Structure 1
Amino acid sequence: MALPDPQPGLVISYSYLWYHEHRAGREEGLKSRPCVIVLAIDQQDDGRTLVRVVPVTHSPPADPDVAIELPQRVKQHLGLDAGRSWVVVDEVNDFVWPGYDLRPIAGTRHRVAYGFLPPRLFTNIVTRARDLWRQGRGKAAARN
């Protein structure tokens, strides 16, 4: 399987581990879902790339401040379903690329990337996430 370079704004298929699952002792996500790469850092010392992703979910957020709805046009561009979806920005998974939890997109055998978010939407996601983390409202599950 040819893997794309992990670039910010790329939406990938990933077995996301929710923070509450991580806190309960789970080590694996329950299902694959689209996730947005918000950070990719090449490590000088060992050549590995550390990646941070935020999840996409169909569940409406209990707190609207912690999620940004994906516009239908963007969902169509990425090849996602027609249901409403939100990018959750107050929690992340961190892992070394490519990691064990990348998954082929349903209906494909080798693709793990849906495509890129529009730059303005991606900037809004990163800005909202940064603001929440600065307020101490961020949660991370390291998956290394």
Structure 2
Amino acid sequence: MSIPVPKPGLVIRYSFLWSSEQRRGSIEGSKDRPCAIVVAVPRGERGQIRTIVAPITHSPPIDPETSLEIPAKICRDLGLDDGRHWLRFDELNDFLWPGYDLRPKPDGRYDYGMLPKTLFEALRKGIMEAQRRKAGRTVNRED
């Protein structure tokens, strides 16, 4: 399967590196997970695309201000498992598309589909609020 064009709201499979893993010296995420593309903008003369993703996790948030639960119907539409899922506002990864950490799903596709517009807007607003409160952490994966 071919690698999709990155666009905000697209959910991809990605080896997400949490800031706590980076602090412990890891340079690779401990597992591949669904992540929502938040930003995808051209950068540089070689047509590179700066991409920022937010992770989707099964772990309930310690602080409810840092996450948004994804409705079960949307999880089913994306092909996620039956567990509960949260979009995190306070942890992001920044990389050049497609990078080394984009991973194919077992069916060979790299994406799960698009978040509905209203859910994407809630994610975007949550990230902006986390950044305003200085509660957000972004791990740069370009290096």
TM-score band w.r.t. shorter chain: over 0.9
Q: Secondary structure at the match of 1:123?
A: helix
Aligned to 2:129: 131
TM-score, normalised via structure 2 length: 0.96
Structural mapping, 1:39-78, within 5 Å: 39-78=39-78
Distance in 2 (CA, whole Å) between partners of 1:15 and 1:52 is 13
Q: Secondary structure at the match of 1:75?
A: helix
Distance in 2 (CA, whole Å) between partners of 1:19 and 1:131 is 19
CA shift at 1:25, angstroms?
A: 1.1
Distance in 2 (CA, whole Å) between partners of 1:48 and 1:18 is 23
Q: What is the one-letter code of the residue matched to 1:72?
A: A
CA shift at 1:100, angstroms?
A: 0.5
Runs of 4+ in 1 over 2 A off after TM superposition: none
Distance in 1 (CA, whole Å) between partners of 2:42 and 2:70 is 28
Aligned to 1:115: 113
The CA RMSD measured in Å over matched residues stands at 0.9
Aligned to 1:99: 99
Q: What is the one-letter code of the residue matched to 1:141?
A: V
Distance in 2 (CA, whole Å) between partners of 1:61 and 1:20 is 15
- Gap regions ≥5 residues in structure 2: none
Residue 133 of structure 2 corresponds to residue 142 of structure 1: no
Distance in 1 (CA, whole Å) between partners of 2:59 and 2:43 is 35
- Gap regions ≥5 residues in structure 1: none
CA shift at 1:101, angstroms?
A: 0.5
Q: What is the one-letter code of the residue matched to 1:2?
A: S
